[in-house]
Amino acid sequence: MKATAEAPANIAFIKYWGKADEHLRLPLNDSLSMNLSGAFTQTTVEFSEQYTRDEVHIIDATFSPEETARVSAGLDVIRTRAKCPFHARVVTKNTFPKGAGSAASASGFAALMTAGFAAANVSLPQKELTLFARLGSGSACRSIPSGFVVWEKGTSHETSYAYSLYDEHYWDLCDLLVIVDKRMKKVATSDGMRNVTTSPYLSSRLAAVPARLKRATEALARKDFAALGSVIEEDCLDMHRVMQTQVPPLPYWNEVTQTIMTAVPVWRTKGIPVYFTIDAGPNVHLICEEKDVSRVKAELTDISGIEEIIYNKVAKGARTISAHLF
Ligand code: PMV
């Protein structure tokens, strides 16, 4: 009754911000992402009658009581589906800072669900696993399938699922995740999204996303990097405009974030095809093709305030692994 899983974080090219159903975590719009090879979570779950409560431990970090309760709620979903009567011990570790807008909840819940169902000896079709991962954290459903992934918003638990458009071998895109602040963000995404309807820009965003998603998937199909990159940046700025005009506003960027955002178009004029995107935090994802990684890294050496750069290729989705954490 013990299993371990590894799941990648993902970076959304077309982003999800706002829920149609808070409890089921149904999003207001479809989204598209790429799984990240260098930013991932490993989690071991053991269900056993020896545990009198759920024991949740994260290596080299801490969980707040709310986060521990969210993990237990995820375990409840597994227990109900698997008809498992036992409490669990969970040990988890990330290769990247948790809670700084670099998608630890996505890899975290994808790993928890994959390990948890395996520990409970239940083998689910991938589509169903994406539904359960979504209940833990919306974007976690995109960390289950491999490579480039679409999350259909759906209208019910069963219809809001994620699937792979192309696997991790399709195109050698890279994401340099530039960490400019390792600290926890002050407002969790779940809390921030609750106020999304107070932004006057939400309706124009929701109207624009379907065409943008179409442009992004067509650019992916053609491997047209400039077309993909420009729609990625456009959607990032659009989501942040909504965040920044919510009440209360969510200004996630810091000075280094903005320095990089200003520099990236200048680098493009110098012939380096690179585009930025940013989630709910100050850290910047620089998307480029493998052939341009060293030139982007060289440009980054001129910018002060960078704490770490995590290099990512396109990754496969969540899977069980044999090395347990306890
Ligand atoms: O699934 P959550 O609650 O971690 O929200 C993710 C929200 C963004 O990262 C900002 C956008 C996205 O689609 O990943």
Q: Is the pLDDT of residue 185 over 80?
A: no
Look at residue 162 in the predicted model and tell me its pLDDT: 98
3-state secondary structure of 41: strand
Task: Judge if pTM exceeds 0.75.
Answer: yes
Look at residue 265 in the predicted model and tell me its pLDDT: 98
Indicate whether residue 259 lines ligand 1 (CB < 6 A). no
Q: Is the pLDDT of residue 99 over 60?
A: no
Look at residue 163 in the predicted model and tell me its pLDDT: 98
Task: Dihedral sign for Cα 188, 199, 253, 152, please.
Answer: positive
Atom of ligand 1 nearest to the CA of 11: 14
pLDDT by residue (tens digit) across 27-52? 999 999 999 999 999 999 999 999 99
Cα of 139 from ligand 1 centre, angstroms: 5
**Residues contacting 164, CB < 8 A, separation 6+:** 145, 146, 147, 148, 149, 317
CB-CB contact of 149 with 164 (8 Å): yes
Indicate whether residue 146 lines ligand 1 (CB < 6 A). no
How much is the average pLDDT of 284-309? 97
Confidence band of 96 (pLDDT split at 50, 70, 90): confident
Look at residue 260 in the predicted model and tell me its pLDDT: 98
More confident residue, 203 or 191: 203
How much is the average pLDDT of 273-286? 96
DSSP letter for each residue of 254-294? -HHHHHHHHHHHHHHHTT--EEEE--SSS-EEEEEEGGGHH
Confidence band of 184 (pLDDT split at 50, 70, 90): low
Look at residue 62 in the predicted model and tell me its pLDDT: 86
CA distance 66 to 72: 10
Atom of ligand 1 nearest to the CA of 10: 14
Confidence band of 100 (pLDDT split at 50, 70, 90): low
Mutate to test the pocket of ligand 1, among 13, 14, 15, 160 (most ligand atoms within 8 A of CB): 15
Atom of ligand 1 nearest to the CA of 140: 1
Cα of 143 from ligand 1 centre, angstroms: 12
Confidence band of 101 (pLDDT split at 50, 70, 90): low
Buried b (16+ CB within 10 A) or exposed e, 250-275: bebbeebbebbbebbeebeeeeebbb
Confidence band of 229 (pLDDT split at 50, 70, 90): very high
How much is the average pLDDT of 105-111? 96
Indicate whether residue 138 lines ligand 1 (CB < 6 A). yes
DSSP letter for each residue of 144-203? SSSSEEEE---SSTTT--EEEEE-TTS--EEEEEEES--SPPSS-HHHHHTTGGG-TTHH
Indicate whether residue 6 lines ligand 1 (CB < 6 A). no
How much is the average pLDDT of 204-223? 98
How much is the average pLDDT of 10-18? 98
Sheet strands side by side (includes 284-289)? 274-277, 284-289, 173-179, 308-313
313 burial class (0-12, 13-18, 19+ CB within 10 angstroms)?
middle
pLDDT by residue (tens digit) across 64-86? 898 899 999 999 999 999 999 99
CA distance 18 to 29: 8
CA distance 6 to 266: 37
Cα of 288 from ligand 1 centre, angstroms: 21
Indicate whether residue 137 lines ligand 1 (CB < 6 A). yes
Look at residue 262 in the predicted model and tell me its pLDDT: 98
**Residues contacting 8, CB < 8 A, separation 6+:** 35, 36, 37, 39, 40, 107, 110, 143, 315, 316, 317, 318
